[in-house]
Amino acid sequence: MDFNFSKAQQMLKKTVADFSENRVKPRAEEIDRSGKFPKDLFLEMTKMGLTGIGTDEKYGGSGGSDIEKIIAVEEIAKHCASTAATLSIHTIFASVLDKFGTEEQKQKYLPDVCSGGELGAFALTEPNAGSDAGSARTTAIYDESKEEYVLNGTKCFITGGGLAKYVLVFALTSPELKTKGLSCILVERGTPGFSIGKIEDKMGLHGSETAELIFDNCRVPKGNLIGQPGKGFKIAMTALDGARIGIAAQAVGIAAEALDESIKYTKERVQFGRPISSLQGLQWYLAEMATKVECARWMTYRAASLKVSGLPHTKEAAIAKFNASKTAVEVTDKALQIHGGYGYMKDYPLERMYRDAKITEIYEGTSEIHKVVIAREVLK
């Protein structure tokens, strides 16, 4: 399998790397400390076409595929995981609409989120339905007299939920059918009965807002149903396969930068009269870290390649995400240890990267759930 980039992909990688180095990196500490979503950077990414990657140009997208998407996410994650996470999860909205939406829905909503600077969100998780997505309780009962769905319930831990103009909400249109009664409905910000609840105060990813969404007799038109009634669980699982590849790319970016910071530090730090890079113990640390990063990157690109080719990739996406997130946590931990006391201080980016890495083992499916998915696939 050939993972060599085309000239266009090489150009994209360089362009995004330059943007990440020159625009994102200088803002990363401020974003982390303020806890504010960097809308200006998001708009810059929009102008660059990054928010429209994977969507056809006729819908306001910039074309390309998941390969281009993870190139962008990895490069941005090297300097600010919050910004990369928002971009990665934002693209789920467009991918769902592109695959399952009607032509009318695509023309109406995709230009706004792909090139119009508006944020899209994906609302599946609930207080009692995290890893067990099939236990969702939010309902969307159809009112035939008004041709509207009436939503009631609460979603939690929704990335960009309080800022998004459009939210894909997974709700039970036939509660008695449980998972088979789950549907996907698009809800627009400002719709009566739709409000924002708690904004979470997190350990990391401070610049990526995580919100609670509340639906209280929220009425949306019948035309906002995405796909067929009762097919929401399939839509969600399909979306998560792609989302997991995006989170894997985010994890790879964090780990790769932690490795680069460690290489630079060991060359500059002098102890006992020589750079600590000359110490075999630290050389072995770096060798292990480099190996893990490279393996995680290849697994991530393999999963993306299968998806782009239209081949089954559920197992590979789960493996990529499980391994890359574990790598991000292990490599940032080792990098912080290499930096010693300095790594623990906010003067260096390692403590932020260390905090940001942990979430990759949790969101879009915990590592434990990914083991379940992988085991299920290999036991077929």
65: which 2 tokens? 């595929």
Distance, in Å, from the CA atom of 176 to the CA atom of 180, rounded to the nearest integer, reads: 9
Coil, helix or strand at residue 194: strand
Name residue, tokens 């979603």: 155
What phi and psi values does residue 114 have, to the nearest 5 degrees? -90, -40
- Which stretches of the chain are DSSP H helices? 7-19, 25-34, 39-48, 66-77, 81-100, 103-114, 232-268, 280-308, 314-339, 350-358, 367-378
- Secondary structure in 3-state letters for 107-170: HHHHHHHHCCCCCEEEECCECCECCCHHHCCCEEEEECCCCEEEEEEEEEEEECCCCCCEEEEE
Active site (annotated) includes residue 75 = no
Distance, in Å, from the CA atom of 123 to the CA atom of 157, rounded to the nearest integer, reads: 8
Of the residues 68, 200, 364, 368, only one is catalytic, namely 364
Give me the sign of the Cα torsion angle 299, 303, 309, 312.
Answer: positive
Single out the residue of 379, 370, 380, 378 nearest to residue 319, CA to CA: 370
Cβ neighbours for 380, distance < 8 A, ≥ 6 positions apart: none
Active site residues: 364
